[in-house]
């Protein structure tokens, strides 16, 4: 690669950076709300009797329910003009590239989230690298989030990337 | 959920998953913003969204991810397990745009007595453009 690296030591030092853990209460009501808001009629999330007869033995949450609290609730005065909080849930180091794109999501599931569970999420930056895109340099910020239930059991691991351009 | 439970032995490479049709309305986008506590204006404020160069409010990327997860969980039924899901939102979808989630079986294998199936999955628009390509790995029950 002949291009100049935009990744300074300061940006590189963000690798390994961890966010404070956050928790999600998987209440029956929020599971139902999430299922309705994603147009998902699966009775495993909605019908207690059906769920009891299933291999799960009770209500579970849809696979992507863990995404429910996408942002931390902050007051309106702390939101940017586009409506997003100044500080997102996932850490992004300051770079000279202004635009942020979703670089995809990869999830491995280990156990279902059950109604009544308390899920704890933790996120860490695992890599930062640069690539040459069609319109100029791109910086990839790769993160790994681990979600555990109240028994300390890992329910899922999500790998994702933010692309700055 | 699925009319009939699908078993590992029923599945072959090249098989198509039953497609899932969606047409996310303004109301659905609002509900999804609400449950995910997402105040980003491009998902509900059309006047604002036009200033970002879009022609209407746009469908949340993770909502398309949820549709893809549904395509797979619907197919595998109560006894199948979604083990891995990946997707990337390559292009935007506008509110009220008809979207179809589709999938094809790409690989089947057994491991520790369990039947694994890998699928290519995607969300496409009416023009047939793959807006959200992805992959899923599921574990299906085996016939005794």
Q: Confirm whether A112 is domain-assigned.
A: yes
Q: How far is A97 from chain B (nearest CA, A)?
A: 18
Q: Does A90 touch chain B (CB under 8 A)?
A: no
A69 touches chain B (CB under 8 A): yes
**Tokens 């139902």 sit at which residue?**
A32
Q: Assign residue A129 a region (left: φ > 0; alpha: ψ between -120 and 50; beta: otherwise).
A: beta
pLDDT value, residue B128: 96
| Residue A35 exposure: Cα atoms within 13 Å on the Cβ side | 21
Whether A85 maps to a domain, the answer reads: no
Structure-model confidence comparison of residues B103 and A74, the more confident one = B103
A84 or B139, higher pLDDT? B139
CATH number of the structural domain spanning residue A22: 3.10.129.10
Whole-number percent of chain A with pLDDT over 90: 68
- Asked if the structure places residue A46 within a domain, the reply is yes
- Does residue A100 lie in a domain region? yes
CB B87 within 8 A of CB B72: no
pLDDT tier, B2 (very low <50, low <70, confident <90, very high otherwise): very low
pLDDT at residue B11, rounded to an integer: 98
CB B39 to CB A79 under 8 A? Answer: yes
- The H or E element containing residue B71 is helix B61-76
Asked if B68 and B101 touch (Cβ cutoff 8 Å), the reply is yes
C-alpha span between B103 and B49 (Å, rounded): 31
Q: Across the interface, do A55 and B79 touch by the CB < 8 Å criterion?
A: yes
Could you read off the pLDDT of A97-106 as tens digits, one per residue? 878 777 889 9
CB contact under 8 A, B70 and A62: yes
Cα three-residue angle A67-A14-A126, rounded to 5 degrees: 55
How many structural domains does chain A have?
Answer: 1
pLDDT at residue number A107:
98
Contact A70, A121 (CB under 8 A): no
* Average pLDDT of span B118-134: 97
Task: Tell me whether residue A4 is in a domain.
Answer: no
Task: Quote ipTM for the complex.
Answer: 0.95
Q: Are B66 and A38 in contact (CB under 8 A)?
A: yes
Range of the domain at A129: 9-71+91-164
Asked if A68's CB is within 8 angstroms of B35's CB, the reply is yes
Identify the closest residue of chain A to B86 by CA–CA distance: A106
> In this structure, what DSSP letter does residue A127 have?
E
Contacts of A83 in chain B (CB under 8 A): 39-42, 45, 48
Q: Which of A:96-155 have CB within 8 Å of B? A: 102-109
In a domain? residue A153: yes
**Gap from A53 CA to chain B (nearest CA, Å):** 10
> Domains (ranges, CATH) in chain B?
8-140 (3.10.129.10)
- Give pTM, 2 decimals: 0.93
């Amino acid at each position: 690669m002949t291009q100049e690296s935009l990744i300074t030591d300061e940006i590189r030092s963000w690798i390994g950076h961890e966010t404070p853990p956050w928790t999600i209460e998987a209440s029956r009501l929020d599971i139902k709300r999430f299922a309705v808001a994603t147009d998902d009629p699966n009775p495993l999330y909605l019908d207690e009797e059906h769920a009891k007869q299933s291999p799960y033995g009770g209500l579970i949450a849809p696979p992507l329910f863990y995404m429910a609290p996408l942002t931390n609730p902050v007051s309106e005065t702390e939101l940017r003009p586009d409506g997003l909080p100044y500080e997102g849930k996932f850490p992004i180091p300051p770079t000279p590239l202004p635009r942020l794109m979703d670089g995809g999501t990869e999830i491995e599931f280990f156990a279902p989230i059950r109604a009544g569970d308390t899920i704890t999420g933790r996120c860490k930056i695992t890599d930062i690298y640069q690539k040459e895109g069609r319109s100029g340099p791109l910086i990839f910020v790769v993160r790994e989030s681990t979600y555990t239930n109240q028994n300390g059991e890992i329910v899922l691991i999500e790998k994702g990337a933010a692309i700055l351009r | 959920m699925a009319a009939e439970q699908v078993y590992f032995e029923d599945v072959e490479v090249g098989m198509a998953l039953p497609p899932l049709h969606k047409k996310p309305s303004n109301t659905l986008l609002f509900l999804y913003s609400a449950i995910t506590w997402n105040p980003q204006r491009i998902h509900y404020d059309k006047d604002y969204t036009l200033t970002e160069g879009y022609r209407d409010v746009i469908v949340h990327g993770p909502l398309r991810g949820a549709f893809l997860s549904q395509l797979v969980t619907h197919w595998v039924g109560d006894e199948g397990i979604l083990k891995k899901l990946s997707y990337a939102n390559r292009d935007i979808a506008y509110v009220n745009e008809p979207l179809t989630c589709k999938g094809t079986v790409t690989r089947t294998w057994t491991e520790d007595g369990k039947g694994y199936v890998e699928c290519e999955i995607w969300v496409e628009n009416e023009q047939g453009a793959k807006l959200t390509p992805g992959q899923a790995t599921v574990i299906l029950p085996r016939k005794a």
